[in-house]
Structure 1
């Protein structure tokens, strides 16, 4: 499995296993078991996914395994990511959120902690606090203030690496101006229908590695049946998802696909025996439609809502 070097010198596997939506105990345990067995060494979770405790329990079993030593993996071989939720954006609450996630996972340490979204919502109470109009109850905490809490966490040794998710160029620029520690990662929705070329360039030029979630546009059948992708899949004897993952990897982007099916777990990392040609990379990128599947419209009036303009050149 290839790795990306973060700007703090830690190494991050280029393909990770996403766990969004997997909350059933047995299903998640099986996915982690199968994923680790076929070669995944990067697991992505979040407070909002409500599965940190189950994930941590299963990983501890794998780390301590004696009955099947060939299935045993050391903690140092795994890279685990979690994320700060929007109701914990004040500097003190950043630490509290990290403490809670670390306690639930209970795997010794966290490799990467991300600010899940730039918008700060009312602290305490509901995970998505809504007013009578169905809009989020917002606070005026800026991304710079939240980032100071993330820097505190890294400085205190509570987490190895820190980063952000769903942040646009303006938000990253403000952080970079004030930061003592620059973000190591920006996790974004990226796929052939949402290529984010400008934002990816900005991040990579700034020393921020990019991760792609929803690489298949949440199973968008229109995307998966695109003739360009199907022809390339036929040419390389691969599936359309494998072609998409390869396209992302060749852009220098780490990928976080999610699935509960063992066959697809194996398929999604079987992408290192072929290489797309430059013109094929461009043909895939031309599929861009700026179609976003994750846009949190109920928070669209928040001052830090990122999707009005993700990038400009």
Structure 2
């Protein structure tokens, strides 16, 4: 029997996503009433609303487009409702220069351990996520592939072309001859025929091989110095072969982006970087927009579950301004942070393995921050990076890769 908490905690937020005008007053009252704990509910929304954030080659927004189809009512159990309410239908999309629609909100899978990530992806797809962000270095693509195999097919209600899947080329595979085999390994693990987007994870390379972090006998990380432009040329071949629909960059600075564009026959479509109100990345975002790239934000909530978290670092989710806005809008701090990103046209991929949080993270399209509140969020900028690999040298903590000539964070942006 569905509980009152189910109606109030799950269904009401879901239906609010569609917009207040689509929810009859009688149904609003029904959900708020204790009578909503009825054993059956006559709810089956057949609703397709797609709002697309369009960006031209000049980086200027072209507005949004949407369409709405029919909705109907049938007897449904609680399980049926969770399976049938498609929240993906209200998730806005960025349009890549390739013409692809990239959902502005996706599920991140970094730090999602094997044994947990499959259930997280299965649940995310069931409640409407249509964007999954992966990487070889996360060491969980095979389990994500199991979730895809169990969820994605016309018979199971989700078509392959409806799900935007991203993965990334790791640093040990920058040699041009290693690029395609690395992608094919990812495709095999994910049980897919193609990727929607393939990113070069970092501009700098590690020593070639199958060990993710190759080290000397003394424990020193071993680097390579493959030119990332040569790696890019090999990635372009993946597009020509139909193995990926778009290629892009991750953790590149503005100068390195321009290096790639200067030699590219296939233009980068996306730049994925760390971004949140403590690291706004406004200059880098403007740079991307001028060059027709969409920006994706990883660690949008501050990555507080990192193993190397320092007790004295600022905690984004506890910021007083963020918490005040959360109270004002009756949202969580995480939802405020995610809303800020998607409202400025930045794709964001928060990670979670907890069903309630996975669902909550998607519920950011039923409200808007004011222009002043958007500026307020930007004013929190501290240029604080949470994701910088560090090592201890002579008793001091220093960036691990800062000595590499392609290290991206030595430049202003």
Among 291, 306, 309, the residue aligned to 2:408 = 306
**Do the aligned residues in 1 keep the contact of 2:196 with 2:244 (CA within 8 Å)?**
yes
The residue number in structure 1 matching 2:373 is 280
State the shift of 1:63 in Å: 2.1
TM-score, normalised on structure 1? 0.94
SS of equivalent residue, structure 1 residue 210: strand
Alignment of 1:130-149 (within 5 A): 130-131=215-216, 134-149=219-234
TM-score, normalised on structure 2? 0.72
Tell me if 1:73 matches 2:175. no
Structure 2 CA distance for aligned equivalents of residues 290 and 134 of structure 1: 31
The residue number in structure 2 matching 1:49 is 138
Among 336, 339, 343, the residue aligned to 1:250 = 343
Which stretches in structure 2 are left out of the alignment for 5+ residues? 1-90, 305-312, 390-398
State the shift of 1:258 in Å: 0.5
Note the alpha carbon deviations across 1:29-85, whole angstroms, 9 max, x for none.
21112111111001111100111111111111112486xx5xx31212111111000
Query: How many aligned positions are there?
Result: 306
Structure 2 CA distance for aligned equivalents of residues 79 and 90 of structure 1: 27
Which stretches in structure 1 are left out of the alignment for 5+ residues? none
SS of equivalent residue, structure 1 residue 299: coil
State the shift of 1:135 in Å: 4.1
Note the alpha carbon deviations across 1:189-215, whole angstroms, 9 max, x for none.
001111111111101111000000000
The residue number in structure 2 matching 1:224 is 317
Greater RCO, 1 or 2 (C-alpha within 8 Å, sep 6+): 1
SS of equivalent residue, structure 2 residue 262: helix
Structure 1 CA distance for aligned equivalents of residues 343 and 154 of structure 2: 35
Considering only CA atoms, is the larger Rg found in Structure 1 or Structure 2?
2
Structure 1 CA distance for aligned equivalents of residues 329 and 217 of structure 2: 53
Stretch of structure 1 that moved more, 205-214 or 294-303: 294-303
Tell me if 1:182 matches 2:267. yes
Tell me if 1:267 matches 2:356. no
The residue number in structure 2 matching 1:151 is 236
State the shift of 1:240 in Å: 0.7
**Do the aligned residues in 2 keep the contact of 1:135 with 1:298 (CA within 8 Å)?**
no
Among 80, 88, 94, the residue aligned to 1:4 = 94
